[in-house]
Amino acid sequence: MISRELSDRRGAKPPGPDGDHESALAEAVVKMSWKKLGIGLLAVIAVVVIVLAFRAWNVGSPPTPPEAVDTGAAVDIDDALGRLAAAIRLPTISPVESDADVTPFLQTHELLEEFFPRVHEIAERRLVSDLTLHFTIPGSDADAPHVVFLAHMDVVPVEEGTEDDWSHPPFGGAVADGFLWGRGTMDNKHNMMGIMEAAEAWFAQGGRPEHTLHFVFGHDEEIGGLQGARRVAQTMMEDEVDVVAVYDEGLLITDGILPGVDDPVALVGITERGYLTVEIRAHAEGGHSSMPPQELAITRLATALQRLDADPMPAAIDGPTALMFEKIAAEMDFGHRLIFRNLWLFEPLVISQMTASAGTNAAVRTTAAPTILRAGDRENVLPRQAVATVNFRIHPRESIDEVLEYLDETVATEHISVEPVGEMQAEPSPLARLEGPGYEALERAFFTVYPDIALAPNMLTALSDSRHFTDLTSDVYRFHPITVTERDLERIHGVDERIAVDDFENLIQYYGALLRQW
């Protein structure tokens, strides 16, 4: 026992100054290590802050606007407004039923012929499906590629019960308070009339195009354009027409809509989302409602729809949306520029904000919207199946096959089947070029009329007739330069649709400048 204690004492550190010194040294080393770590972390944070600030600051100078081009002689805006008002008074509601009254469309044809005689004299006019108008204006150079201008004369109906909510009758064509009011003033008779006004004025001056031009005014765009624009595009494909650019309705000049941007910014749709509708069908045993089994067709369908909602297709900031943020960074305040110029760090935060809003969620992911539900027809009978119609709008990073694969992984089971339905199916459109002649002509026309407004590419989240023409060229530009606020977006297909008188005058000048470049 004594021997063990002696042994332990021999191995122990001696008390006194040497032992205290070693302990203090170890403590100092630990403190120094933590200090170095803290300094290192501060250095890393400082570098990150410097990088963030530099990227936010270093956006470069705004690009120099291209040289202005000729817009042609000024059109008498009062006369032009009167012609647009006359078109608005014709209720050209999309002919959903085969026996729909198409008299307003035929009256529109007559109205155009009366108002724009020179266009009708120079152009070859074809009727497609008896209602869509296709004007071909021959160019002086037979070898030059063709250019297509699209618009549509059909409009959506006024929702029943909202007629009295309008400030002016929806088909009255009233001019008041600096606006022309009525269904079609924003979607899309203003484009049709603007193109014709500009062309008529040009031809009256003796002008003629070098490139062959096509004006296509559809009668069924609001229901897919399958009998109108699609048939025109198919014919042009069969005729092997060489097309260099297509211009259609789409995005607009936004005012107070983009985050961190006080000034108006014009957005050009260089692509649009795809379209797919599916039926999700749940199966179960039928029988009497007094003896329901544990799993019913309706509850199985509800579970499947919940899965879609809980596990949507992924969101990301890429493609045209990323390109837009890059282009408008110089227009943002510093705080927003700090975020959007550093998406490598802040993208999760931005996506969480964008996916919380219906409008911006559509810009970052493929969306799914259940629109129709069908099940039993008797209150005391268990249906053997329940069906949901779900509409998908497909982001350009994905395809119809990828959506179907997602559905197979997310909702399809032994008792749940998924099947595409309907004739309207479309892959997302290819991205139009920003360095091609089509975009360059659009830029010159736009900056001639709007020299102080920034222009940036983006994606059209809805559908347009232009998707039928992407096999002719990928350079399809979806844009009409009228200014809209957040409130104005509600007017499209809604109550109090209207166009500012100044916007319509500028629209005619824009098309004048665009036409003359071809």
What is the full per-residue pLDDT of the chain (518 aa) written as tens digits? 444 444 444 444 445 555 566 676 666 655 667 667 667 677 777 777 787 777 778 777 667 778 889 888 788 999 999 999 999 999 999 999 989 999 999 999 999 999 999 999 999 999 999 999 999 999 999 999 999 999 999 999 999 999 999 999 999 999 999 999 999 999 999 999 999 999 999 999 999 999 999 999 999 999 999 999 999 999 999 999 999 999 999 999 999 999 899 999 999 999 999 999 999 999 998 888 888 888 899 999 999 999 999 999 999 999 999 999 999 998 999 999 999 999 989 999 999 999 999 889 999 999 999 999 999 999 999 999 999 999 999 999 999 999 999 999 999 999 999 999 998 999 999 999 999 999 999 999 999 999 999 999 999 999 999 999 999 999 999 999 999 999 999 999 999 999 999 999 999 999 999 999 99
Q: Check if 221 is active-site.
A: yes
Q: Compute and round to an integer the Cα radius of gyration of the chain.
A: 31
For residue 255, indicate whether it is catalytic: no
Q: How far is 91 from 33, CA to CA, in rounded Å? A: 79
The CATH class, in words, for 274-426 is alpha beta
Q: What is the DSSP letter of 256?
A: S
What pLDDT does 159 receive? Answer: 94
Predicted TM-score (pTM) of the model is 0.89
> For residue 204, how many C-alpha atoms fall within 13 Å in the half-sphere facing its CB?
14
Q: Could you tell me if residue 116 is left (phi over 0), alpha (psi between -120 and 50 degrees) or otherwise beta?
A: beta
417 DSSP β-pair partners: 281
Annotated active-site residue in 187, 220, 221, 331: 221
Domain with CATH 3.40.630.10 in the chain: 77-253+430-516
The per-residue pLDDT for 65 is 79
DSSP 140: S
How many Å apart are CA 273 and CA 428, to the nearest integer? 5
What pLDDT score was predicted for residue 34?
65
CA distance 94 to 222: 6
Residue showing tokens 């023409």: 469
458: nearest Cα among 493, 490, 434 = 434
Give span(s): CATH 3.30.70.360, the chain.
274-426
CA 55 to chain centre: 28
User: Selecting from 3.40.630.10, 3.90.110.10, 3.30.470.10, 3.90.1640.10, what CATH number does the domain 77-253+430-516 have?
Assistant: 3.40.630.10
- Pick the catalytic residue from 154, 200, 272, 488: 154
